[in-house]
A = this chain, B = another copy of it.
Amino acid sequence: MTTKQQYDQYKTTMQKIADVKYSNALLQWDQETYMPTGAANVRARQLATLSEIAHEMSTTANLGDLLTDLLSKDDLSAEEKFNVKQSHEDYFKQKKYTSVFVRELSEATSAAFNNWVKARNEDDFSLFENDLNKLIELKLQEADLLGYQNHPYNALLNEYDKGATVAQNDLLFEALKKGLIPIVEKIKAQPQVNDDFLKQHFPKDQQWQLGIEVLKIMGYDFTTGRQDIAAHPFTINFGSTDVRVTTRIDENDFSNMLFSCIHEGGHALYEQGLLDENYGLPMGEYSSLVVHESQSRLWENHMGKSLEFWQHYYLELVKRFPKQLQQVDVNSFYKGINKVIPSLIRTEADEVTYHFHVMIRYGIEKLLLTKQIKAKDIPAIWNELYKNLLGVIVPSNANGCLQDVHWSHGSFGYFSTYSMGTMMAAQLFQSFENQYESNNEYNYENKIRKILFWLRENVHIFGKAKNTNELCISISGENLNVRYLLDYLTKKYLAHP
């Protein structure tokens, strides 16, 4: 066989594996949007079977031989070489898992998800405790399977951001905390911001229409996407030609839908920006969850929560909601949506105190994974940390340690990507601003188009070919760091009080 024939065979295999993984993703999307409740058990086994099949297809001896063969070829293009190298690495990682383990983990997370929903609805942590212990056990087994240096958590962090370590995360979180505390203190000393107008009644249908409109303004392509309602907003895709967002609508909390919609839109633009020709290949996959989060946070915070955006769009918004907003001027609106106040719920937190939520979860995960605590200890520690770090009294586990879905998915090591991604967003956005300001006459619509184009060119098209730090360095000349985020927050909150 020629190298080209071998490469084609590799590509065909990878595309078939992707077909199964994306079918699995559709089962998940459906589970969270439209699936009738009575189907939960059967869906769990369908998910487990597709996971098992994808794993088996990813670990055949044929594929291993083919990859090893291709790795030694010198007549591949740079992109082809990258794909082969990455797939070769993934192959040997996948080989560390048994099919039995893959199925067990899939079934355990389905059960945990269902029990988490119950526990949260009934505000009864004990309904979720056993599942959580079981998942921690499985994730520790996974860390052992994958291997790690220094800390089992490193193996899991690595799954979401290749190369991430506890040591590095600790340093970044420490610097972030040190930078944020004085900012919070200074904001506290400012006059209280009024955001009562956001808590008026905003009818569901009108909010929905606004969300669709905002996604269109961002450049989200509805011929390769759609929005639906889900209990917990998320973005999911089945290739770059089918990238779906979900949202939720609280009729009495306007900013909830609006910013979750922009956030998910940012994730979705990334997936729509991956090249269809790379379907199933590493070049066709997102770089890391940190990079993914940098996209959602860039759109949510640096665009959607900017004064510029609302100077451009506020008149239209007031036209849609005259009763609620005609007494509110654009500056008051801007201040309201950016009000800083320590709160209970991470997804509704402001840009400044948000990171304390993440740090609390990161700290608890470290304790769980080093067996210093068990699931049953979480509520007490959670509540204690919220009191100490945020000054917030947690009234119930439903609004406390049960608020987020991630642990029920077995996603330990995921949360820290939220803060790292937010840092990266600030780093990217400043780099864009530097170039944009020097090149363009100001026009906000033009700026939106430009930033999407810039992200496509500098981030999206590379897929996995550049990791988090490589992207940061190639774009900003620096490693991922906290400075850009702290500068941005300082300028936003302290320069014009």
Residue of B15, B36, B38, B224 near A38 (CB, 8 A) is: B224
A435 within 8 A of partner (CB): no
Residue of B nearest to A279 (CB): B42
- Decide if the interface of chain A is mainly helix, strand, loop or mixed: helix
* Given contact pairs A22-B46, A23-B50, A239 touches B39 in the complex (Cβ within 8 A): yes
Residue of B34, B48, B241 near A39 (CB, 8 A) is: B241
Tell me the complex Cα distance, A223–B35, Å: 9
Tell me the complex Cα distance, A222–B224, Å: 30
Residues on B with beta carbons closer than 8 Å to the beta carbon of A39:
224, 238-239, 241-242
Q: Count identical subunits in the complex.
A: 2
Task: Please determine whether B226 and A45 come into contact, CB atoms closer than 8 angstroms.
Answer: no
A41 within 8 A of partner (CB): yes
Task: Please determine whether B15 and A23 come into contact, CB atoms closer than 8 angstroms.
Answer: no
A19 within 8 A of partner (CB): yes
Report which residue of A38, A223, A226, A238 has the largest number of chain B beta carbons within 10 angstroms of its beta carbon: A38
* Given contact pairs A36-B224, A36-B226, A39-B224, A16 touches B49 in the complex (Cβ within 8 A): yes
Give residues of chain A (8-53) contacting chain B, Cβ–Cβ below 8 Å. 15-16, 19-20, 22-24, 26-27, 30, 34-39, 41-43, 45-46, 48-50, 52-53
Tell me the complex Cα distance, A20–B16, Å: 14
A179 within 8 A of partner (CB): no
Residue of B52, B226, B276 near A34 (CB, 8 A) is: B226
* Given contact pairs A36-B225, A39-B238, A225-B36, A45 touches B19 in the complex (Cβ within 8 A): yes
Give residues of chain A (219-238) contacting chain B, Cβ–Cβ below 8 Å. 221-226, 228, 238
Task: Please determine whether A20 and B36 come into contact, CB atoms closer than 8 angstroms.
Answer: no
Task: Please determine whether B223 and A46 come into contact, CB atoms closer than 8 angstroms.
Answer: no
Task: Please determine whether A36 and B222 come into contact, CB atoms closer than 8 angstroms.
Answer: yes
Tell me the complex Cα distance, A244–B39, Å: 11
Known contacts A19-B46, A20-B49, A26-B30; can you find 19 more A-B pairs with CB under 8 A? A19-B45, A19-B48, A19-B49, A19-B50, A23-B26, A23-B46, A30-B30, A34-B226, A35-B242, A36-B223, A36-B224, A36-B226, A36-B242, A38-B224, A38-B241, A39-B238, A42-B276, A42-B279, A46-B238
